[in-house]
Structure 1
Amino acid sequence: MKFKQKLMILGTILSATSFAGSIDYLSQQDAEYLAHPAMVGKIGVSGAYYNPAGLVWLEDGTYIQVNNQTHLKDYSMEYNGEKFKSDKASPAVPSVQIVKKAGDTAYFFHAGAIAGGGSVAYGGGIATFPEIVGSNPLFGLIGAEYVGGSTIHGQSYYVAFQGGIARKFNEAWSGAVGLRLVDAERKFKGEGNFEYNNLGGKLGSGKAKFDIDSERTAFGASGIFGLNYHPNNKFNLAMRYETETKLDFDNKESKLRKGFIESTGSSVLGDKFYDVVLGNPAIKQWMSEGSGRRNLPAVAALGASYKVAEKTTLLASGNYYFIKEAGDDLGNFDHYDNGYEVAVGVDYELNEKWTLMTGYQYTNTGANEKTYTDTDYVLDADMYSMGAKYKYNSQLDLMGTYSFVQYKTDKNLKDITYKKRVSAIGLAAIYKF
């Protein structure tokens, strides 16, 4: 059985979407993150991902947390007054955490989508198509224009399994070490149509068809290290470091050149269309020339929680992404700065049954106008979150959460404007044996 197929044991369909994190990373690894993204300093079953060293401070027992997130997405790009939109939702984004705590030791496991841009479907193509025509002298010479096409489908998800062990050093300090395995897949499929009219038709006219079906795959591993300081029941401080994940992508695509040659009826003209389109960075990364390393950068995370009153706990955390140091054969990260996130949150115990949660996060992706392409762009964002946890009984907790993410509108150097909005609903059940 293939590695990523094993996640189907969860009984759900993986369709991740990127709305928090930097580069390809997804920070929202469970439903609780959607209630307050300041998770790094918190002690709980979610620590199987966010704070593994803090798991030793749980009560003894075996815990299972099953999560699902539903993402409602509105992505758009605009060029020269023409808009291209994708509103394809991701109804099922599953993840699971398992923790076994006994004495001074805890074992942890987490499975989910660690990175990726999710699933999108742009009706009528993408803004790169008319931009290529408008900016290329050759297309101007032959009178080429983009006349539309079928929906462009994109999909990017990185399935991850991670596990490890946490151990108390003394009455205040604990540490953790773990291993993550990542199976990455990126797909780009669709069609677009161009028309050309050489010198008023004197040298021929016709159509040229953009037809692509690309799949990029890679497998990698990374180490996870954690420290936790828990001097009393009010204060907790935690740190997590993840090493860079080497991902050497193999790119398979065979239809693009053939489609241009067959539609124009000329190997010469077809190759000219192919060469011009291939020169665009939004397309080049999906061809065989796009094979090579696109590593996930190392990450450092720091967080704290403090119980300021009997019923109120304050949370704060941050993630830092070492993008500039990440291995990249394709130039994807050439103009990036290192990215970061800062988040705050509040837990309020309304009564013995209900806990209310809320939080905010700011994401600086490290991206800028030199980095954006239609098939690879990440935007800075503000994330607003809320949720509630219900203690059904001594063994079972239920959780419902919601986040709204407002992205910064931005343009690339080719004057293509990018916009995003995402709403997410999270549901979780936590059972203790």
Structure 2
Amino acid sequence: MKKTLLALLICSSYANASGLLLQEAVTANAGTAGAGDGVYTETATANWTNPATMSHMGEQKTTINTMALYLQMDYTDYGTDENLLRTPEGNASAETIMPSIGVFHVRQLNEKLHLGLNFGAVGGSSIEYGSDWDGANHLDKAFMSALQLNPSLSYQIDQNWSVGLGAQINYGMIEVSTTGFESDMGTDWAYGFNAGAMYQAERWALGLSYRSKLVHEFDDITATLTNEFEQINGTQATVGTKLIVPAIVDLSGNYDLTEQLTILSSVQFHQWSEFSETPVYNDALNLSGIYPAIDRDWDDVWKFAIGADYQLNSDWALKAGFSYETSPQDDPTKQWVDLPVGEQYRYSLGASTYWGTTRIDIFYEYADFGTMEIERTGEPYTQINGEFEGSIHFVGANFTF
């Protein structure tokens, strides 16, 4: 029963490896899997990744990103006995359809300064496994959303060089339930900054940017026990936990190979080693010394993306991209039901055209999370031995005017 409090560590897009940071919701060049976002200047969204890009966007630019995702997560139970591997008992499946929208605006203040105002979802998930799988006493269903306001300024040093600085104002929400536990909605504000620099040459560009770590302290959530034992059923407690959005370093570049073809690339560093553990606090059920935290022991993550933008004719441009992310944790004994993690592969296609003066970018992206094994059988209330397999389909349309 006490272990159910650990379900506060929900399957959130903060921390199911870097991919579920939902960078697709703030992609500047839709259809290239994020490649070159830190130097792209055709949409206002680029100033989210690198605020220095604003100096190369002209007098004014507004972009609205719209997107929907379909998440599929499947759990296959191996059983706790070697002779019972891959039996169907204890399996689970979860599906989620979720929309997202972001608004990004850039305006030139004077010859040297540009102002950016951005609002978007940096994370979000709604997932339900049900109550008939092996991990139901740890996670049944969960909801999480993280919204961010990101004002920024850029300064044009000369014709080639620009720098930028912004503020991150983050609002997070979580709600979770298990077979023996339900929480009210928990909310928290978190604050940070972002900065960047960009060099724009005639045929190529290079940008370097940084987003600081954000820490959400959810410390005042009302939880109700829904256990079958009458003596504790309905018992309430104030619980809390801590969730981290990692610091991100982005190095992006592009090169005009021909007048029609541009090659784009990005390398990102996500500092997930800060997510070494997740504490759990409560004021009624004493967990101190019993289950003080979930041991994550995550490694930092590297993301590599490459893409191409081809101007097919005067009306249409075609795009394609691919990215690969390293895994923060490959040890099955340190995986957990809320955040199964592994290597991630993304494949993306897109197209751009104009309707009058409005630029329209459409894209499709497939994210493959692969297979993530979990072996947690040596703890009280925990007999989980199996594997997760996950993927996300993204479809979106962005409008710039």
Indicate the TM-score class for this superposition, using the shorter chain for normalisation: 0.7 to 0.9
Residues 1:264 and 2:229 aligned together: yes
Give CA deviations for 1:241-269 in whole Å, capped at 9, x if unaligned. 1112132122424321xx32xx33455xx
Residue 248 of structure 1 is matched in structure 2 by 217
After TM superposition, give the deviation of residue 404 of structure 1 in Å.
0.8
Residue 259 of structure 2 is matched in structure 1 by 310
User: Match of 1:112, SS?
Assistant: strand
Residue 56 of structure 1 is matched in structure 2 by 55
1:329–1:83 Cα change, 3 Å: closer
The answer to which of 408-417 and 168-177 deviates more is 408-417
Letter in 1 for 2:54: L
Letter in 2 for 1:172: N
* 8 A contact 1:20–1:28 mirrored in 2: no
Residue 190 of structure 2 is matched in structure 1 by 220
Letter in 2 for 1:99: V
Report the TM-score when normalising by structure 2.
0.80
Residue 91 of structure 2 is matched in structure 1 by 83
Residue 22 of structure 1 is matched in structure 2 by 18
1:129–1:120 Cα change, 3 Å: closer
Query: Which aligned runs of 4 or more in structure 1 are off by greater than 4 angstroms?
Result: 16-21, 31-34, 326-329
Distance 2:63 2:19 in 1: 27
Letter in 2 for 1:392: W
Out of 363, 386, 392, the residue aligned to residue 349 of structure 2 is 386
Structure with the higher strand share, 1 or 2: 2
After TM superposition, give the deviation of residue 214 of structure 1 in Å.
4.5
5+ residue gaps, structure 1, are 1-15, 133-150, 193-209, 275-286
Distance 2:93 2:24 in 1: 24
1:388–1:17 Cα change, 3 Å: farther
Alignment length (residue pairs): 354
After TM superposition, give the deviation of residue 105 of structure 1 in Å.
2.1
Give CA deviations for 1:73-114 in whole Å, capped at 9, x if unaligned. 211112233321111211x21111111135332111211111
5+ residue gaps, structure 2, are 1-11, 80-87, 280-292, 377-384
Out of 361, 364, 378, the residue aligned to residue 323 of structure 2 is 361
Residue 187 of structure 1 is matched in structure 2 by 175
Distance 1:248 1:328 in 2: 14
Residue 146 of structure 2 is matched in structure 1 by 158
Root-mean-square deviation (Å): 2.8
1:56–1:396 Cα change, 3 Å: same
Letter in 1 for 2:62: I
Residues 1:345 and 2:301 aligned together: no
Letter in 2 for 1:295: I
Distance 1:333 1:216 in 2: 22
The answer to which of 356-365 and 375-384 deviates more is 375-384
Report the TM-score when normalising by structure 1.
0.75
* 8 A contact 1:68–1:93 mirrored in 2: yes
Distance 2:31 2:14 in 1: 17
Residue 396 of structure 2 is matched in structure 1 by 426
Letter in 1 for 2:94: S
1:242–1:83 Cα change, 3 Å: same
After TM superposition, give the deviation of residue 376 of structure 1 in Å.
2.4
Residue 93 of structure 1 is matched in structure 2 by 100
* 8 A contact 1:97–1:108 mirrored in 2: yes
Distance 1:17 1:26 in 2: 7
- Percent identity over paired residues: 15
Out of 120, 127, 130, the residue aligned to residue 134 of structure 2 is 127
1:264–1:20 Cα change, 3 Å: closer
1:104–1:370 Cα change, 3 Å: farther
Alignment of 1:25-36 (within 5 A): 25-30=21-26, 32=28, 34-36=30-32
After TM superposition, give the deviation of residue 294 of structure 1 in Å.
2.4
User: Match of 1:366, SS?
Assistant: coil
* 8 A contact 2:276–2:296 mirrored in 1: no
Letter in 1 for 2:263: L
Distance 2:158 2:294 in 1: 44
Letter in 2 for 1:50: T
User: Match of 2:273, SS?
Assistant: coil
Letter in 1 for 2:202: N
Letter in 1 for 2:57: L
Distance 1:325 1:264 in 2: 38
The answer to which of 376-385 and 362-371 deviates more is 362-371
Give CA deviations for 1:187-207 in whole Å, capped at 9, x if unaligned. 1135x3xxxxxxxxxxxxxxx
After TM superposition, give the deviation of residue 359 of structure 1 in Å.
0.2
* 8 A contact 1:381–1:408 mirrored in 2: yes
* 8 A contact 1:34–1:401 mirrored in 2: yes
After TM superposition, give the deviation of residue 327 of structure 1 in Å.
8.3
User: Match of 2:328, SS?
Assistant: coil
Give CA deviations for 1:386-427 in whole Å, capped at 9, x if unaligned. 10010223x211111000111120112222311111111011
1:170–1:126 Cα change, 3 Å: farther
Distance 2:15 2:367 in 1: 7
Letter in 1 for 2:352: K
Give CA deviations for 1:276-295 in whole Å, capped at 9, x if unaligned. xxxxxxxxxxx855x24323
Residues 1:376 and 2:374 aligned together: no
User: Match of 1:35, SS?
Assistant: coil
Distance 1:125 1:113 in 2: 32
User: Match of 2:23, SS?
Assistant: coil
